């Protein structure tokens, strides 16, 4: 059975001191067992968070560059994240793809580099409202997954986390129904099976993201192909984050 996994994507929120205070408060809570948890935070927060956490809360970056070093002003290498002790890195979030023109090829390079450096990639995929309405969304998701896993070995593929996030449901208050989200996560799993085999596809954890809250997380987690959530706004408050973990427990 796949272990449920809740990851908070803080985006560009909190100061370093606020992040440190959040983590201290979170670690003082009685956190549920049997659920993996991670906080993915801005680069400047990571050193304090890595030093301040314990085995119950993983720490992730929100992005990383596939080159180890070079003339890439403003970028941070996945090699540096690994050296810092970061556990996860979000790759290909829709905001990176849409606002910063990241391509499927960029995503693939980052996935391969993260796996090389023993950082677990959380690979995002998702369709726009236009793609949903004109029925090209299955092709969009399939293409993104095929590109992301290009050149990845079977053993490494099992380590990858995929986050299905319909772009029209991110930060809008809208969310896919649990049935729709499950069908899309099933599509991701079936695509991975075609690329590798059933053993690999059954090992990969697939999260749903898009206006997930404590009030609806149980509904999503009850679906067979949804193994967790990549959560934005609802991960910014300690009590809310704990509630998400509670809601993700295998009943």
* 233 in a labelled binding site: yes
Q: What is the longest distance spanned by two Cα atoms in the chain?
A: 50
* Catalytically active residues, by annotation: 93, 165
| CB 60 within 8 Å of CB 39 | yes
- Residue 211 is given by DSSP the state S
* 64 in a labelled binding site: no
CA distance 52 to 85: 12
* 197 in a labelled binding site: no
CA 185 to chain centre: 13
CA distance 221 to 248: 6
SS3 category, 181: helix
* 168 in a labelled binding site: no
* 155 in a labelled binding site: no
Give me 219's structure tokens.
């509904």
CA 114 to chain centre: 13
CA distance 101 to 237: 30
| CB 193 within 8 Å of CB 201 | yes
The position carrying tokens 């793809």 is 97
Q: Summarize the annotated binding site for substrate as residue ranges.
A: 9-11, 171, 211, 232-233
């Amino acid at each position: 059975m796949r272990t449920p996994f809740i990851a908070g994507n803080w985006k560009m929120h909190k100061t370093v001191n606020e992040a440190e205070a959040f983590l201290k408060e979170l670690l003082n809570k009685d956190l549920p067992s049997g659920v993996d948890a991670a906080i993915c935070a801005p680069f400047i927060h990571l050193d304090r968070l890595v030093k301040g956490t314990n085995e119950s809360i993983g720490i992730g970056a929100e992005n990383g560059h596939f080159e180890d070093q070079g003339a890439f002003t403003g970028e941070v290498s996945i090699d540096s994240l690994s050296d810092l002790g970061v556990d996860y890195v979000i790759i290909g979030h829709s905001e990176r793809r849409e606002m910063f023109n990241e391509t499927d090829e960029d995503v693939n390079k980052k996935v391969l580099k993260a796996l090389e450096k023993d950082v677990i990639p959380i690979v995002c995929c998702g369709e726009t409202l236009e793609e949903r309405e004109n029925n090209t969304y299955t092709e969009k998701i399939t293409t993104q997954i095929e590109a992301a896993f290009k050149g990845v070995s079977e053993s490494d593929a099992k380590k990858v986390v995929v986050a299905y996030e319909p772009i029209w449901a991110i930060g809008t208050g809208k969310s896919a129904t649990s049935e729709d989200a499950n069908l899309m996560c099933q599509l991701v799993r079936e695509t991975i099976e075609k690329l590798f085999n059933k053993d690999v596809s059954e090992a990969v954890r697939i999260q749903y993201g898009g206006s997930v809250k404590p009030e609806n997380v149980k509904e999503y987690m009850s679906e067979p192909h949804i193994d967790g959530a990549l959560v934005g706004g609802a991960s910014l408050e300690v009590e809310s984050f704990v509630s998400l973990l509670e809601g993700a427990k295998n009943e």
